[in-house]
Structure formats: C-alpha cells, structure tokens
C-alpha cells in the first residue's frame, strides 16, 4: 500500500476509458464519457480513451494498458441486448493474460446507456465480471436515453454524470474498502486447474503475440497442419494397420448371385472404406472410387458396433447414427450380404 500511495502522489491518478460500442455519432455512451472526461481533466486526472471498434485485431494487447491504471471506465450503449462483442473480447483477454495483482487494485466504473431496454442488467453483469476478475467496482452510471441531445440540454443529466465521475475519483483516491465478493472466490476455484506461473515479462510477451495478427494467422496454420498429422496418426494407431474392418467384411460376406453394387463408408479415417460387390465377388479397401451407388457417413464407433453384431446398418440408419446418399434399397441390402450377428 505504501508503494501505491507514493506512486500515486508522484504520477497522479490515471483512468482508462474503454468504449465498447459501434462509434455511431448519436451514441449516448459517448456523450456521457465525454462529460466524465471533462470532470477528470478538471481534477488533474490523466485519461486515456480506447475505442475498441477501431482496434478489433488488437483488443487482446490492450490488457497491457491496465498496468498503470488506477481505475477504468467500461462504456457502451445497449442497442437491443447485452453489451456487444468488443467488451466481452476485452474482458476475455483480461481473464487470460491479465496480471491479477494489478487488477486487484483497479476500480471499474460501468457506464451503460440504453436506447431500448436492459441497461441496469448489463451494468450489473459488467460489475460481476470485473469482480470475478478480482477487481474493485464503483456504482457507475446507467440510464435510458431516447435522444442523445438531452444529455447536453438536461441539467439533471449533466449533474448525474458529473457526480458519477466525482464519486469514482473519490473511491480511487480514498481506496474505498469493500467486502469480499463471492464471484471472486468462485473465480479463484475455477482458475486453480488452469493457473500458469509466468513472470510479468513473460506476460507482456504473450500480450504482444496475442495482438500480432500475422503471428496468430501463422500459428493457426501451423496448428491446423499439426491437427491433420495428429488425426492421421491416431487413425493409424487405432486401426493398428490399413486393414481394419476388411477382414470382418470378408469373413461375414454372404454372396447374393444377382447383386451388383458399390459403396463408400466414411468411418472417420483420412480415406473412406469402399466395398464393391459383383455377385460372388467382393472387393474392399480404403480409398476413393468413381460414382459409388451408395455413400454412407457414420459417427465414431458405429462401424465397430456393426461389425461386432451389436447394431445393423438399417438399425443405425433408423437411429440416426448414419447418413446415406444414393440407392436406399442397396443400402438396406448390406445387412443381407454381411451377417455380422452370426
């Protein structure tokens, strides 16, 4: 606490404003934070404003801007429901990358206007979110404003906004104490399993990477390649070889002299299982074939249930476990030529 007081005296109070709306001209939230900024300026408070809609690809990197803030204002206007996409994105980044010791010292003031309905609920949700992150909250400001010009014309509106700014200044200046929040206790329990011990320097590096769009795209492509390689490896490991299901098909094949059909079955491998029947002849393997009579797609584990006799092709289809395209009569014939229940 001593360090904080000395820092505060030397550097003055610092408040960051994060605006999560769309930036439209007549947004009442913009009018409100403009008046609050005037009050903060009169109180010699250093103010930095961040408009999240202009920083879509860099929202995650904004977490680093919290490190020298004594308080923050989270502002937006409810246009139809909730508080939009930008503020949740910012709060998600704070949850993932924020320094919990720094957050615990920061007061958050919600400024929520509405042109429809729901400003009080949205303001309450913002307070709950910040408390779960471990921060402190101010009462904030919320209200329904049909005409943004009223904020400038109505003296009572102006007084309410100025009072909100002054109360936030006093709360930060006096370090107003508050009882523990149950939301914070819940968040501590939730974070136990996912906690990672990293240094402040490592946290800053992570934030730089999180805000680098080119880096994220490169890593995304790398992960997609790894996912394909891992999937192929898992499929090979699970099958033990490239002959899974083939021996089962051959052993339980019961020829129908007049039957001629071709099938492909997607069993979750990189290539489909194909079956070609021509009277007493059976050919099966893995790979694509030209214009099969029936194409079958099934969920994981369904083919195992079929070859073990627990389920039939028709039963799997009726139960919604497989999807088919092509000649349905030939699909039903699979249970006649492959008697897995014997």
**pLDDT tens figures, 279-328:** 999 999 999 999 999 999 987 789 999 999 898 998 888 888 888 898 88
Question: How confident is the model at residue 269, as a pLDDT?
Answer: 83
Question: How confident is the model at residue 156, as a pLDDT?
Answer: 95
Kindly give the residue spans of alpha helices, DSSP state H, lying in 175-325: 182-192, 200-210, 213-239, 246-251, 302-307, 313-318
Burial bucket for residue 30 (CB in 10 Å: 0-12, 13-18, 19+): buried
Question: How confident is the model at residue 4, as a pLDDT?
Answer: 41
Homologous superfamily of the 246-337 domain (CATH):
SCP2 sterol-binding domain (3.30.1050.10)
Homologous superfamily of the 2-211 domain (CATH):
Flavodoxin domain (3.40.50.360)
For residue range 156-191, list pLDDT tens digits in order. Answer: 999 999 999 999 999 999 887 766 666 556 555 555
**CA 311, CA 164: separation in Å to the nearest integer?**
67
Pairing of strands 71-78, 273-278: unpaired
Q: Is the pLDDT of residue 209 over 80?
A: no
Higher pLDDT: 190 or 26? It is 26
* Domain spans, the chain: 2-211, 246-337
Long-range CB contacts (< 8 A, 24+ apart) of 324-328?
Answer: 324/294, 324/295, 324/296, 324/297, 325/294, 325/295, 326/292, 326/293, 326/294, 326/295, 327/261, 327/293, 327/294, 328/294
CB 72 within 8 A of CB 16: yes
Same-fold call for 2-211 versus 246-337 = no
pTM: 0.56
Question: How confident is the model at residue 55, as a pLDDT?
Answer: 86
Residue from 117, 23, 131 nearest 78 by CA: 117
């Amino acid at each position: 606490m001593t360090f904080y007081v000395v820092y505060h005296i030397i550097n003055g109070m610092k408040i960051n404003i994060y605006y999560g709306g769309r930036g439209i001209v007549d947004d009442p939230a913009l009018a409100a934070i403009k008046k609050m900024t005037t009050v903060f300026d009169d109180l010699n408070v250093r103010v930095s404003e961040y408009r999240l809609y202009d920083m879509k690809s860099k929202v995650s990197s904004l977490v680093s801007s919290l490190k020298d803030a004594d308080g923050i204002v989270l502002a937006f206007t409810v246009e139809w429901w909730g508080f939009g996409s930008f503020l949740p994105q910012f709060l998600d980044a704070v949850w993932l990358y924020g320094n919990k010791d720094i957050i615990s010292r920061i007061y958050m003031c919600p400024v929520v206007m509405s042109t429809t309905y729901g400003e009080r609920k949205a303001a309450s949700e913002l307070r709950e979110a910040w408390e779960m992150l471990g921060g402190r909250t101010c009462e904030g400001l919320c209200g329904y404003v049909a005409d943004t010009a009223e904020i400038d014309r109505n003296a009572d509106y102006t007084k309410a906004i100025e009072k909100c700014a002054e109360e936030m200044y006093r709360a930060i200046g006096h370090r107003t104490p508050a009882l523990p929040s149950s939301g914070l206790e819940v968040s501590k329990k939730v974070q136990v399993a996912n906690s990672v011990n990293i240094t402040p320097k490592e946290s800053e590096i992570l934030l730089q990477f999180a805000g680098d769009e080119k880096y994220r795209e490169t890593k995304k492509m790398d992960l997609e390649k790894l996912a394909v390689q891992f999937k192929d490896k898992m499929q090979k490991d699970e099958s033990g070889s490239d002959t899974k299901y083939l021996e089962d098909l051959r052993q339980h094949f019961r020829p129908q002299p007049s039957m001629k059909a071709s099938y492909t079955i997607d069993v979750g491998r990189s290539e489909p299982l194909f079956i070609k029947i021509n009277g007493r002849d059976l050919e099966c393997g893995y790979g694509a074939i030209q214009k099969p009579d029936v194409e079958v797609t099934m969920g994981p584990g369904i083919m195992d249930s079929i070859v073990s006799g627990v389920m039939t092709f028709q039963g799997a289809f009726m139960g919604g476990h497989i999807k088919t395209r092509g000649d349905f009569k030939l699909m039903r014939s699979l249970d006649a030529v492959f008697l897995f229940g014997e």
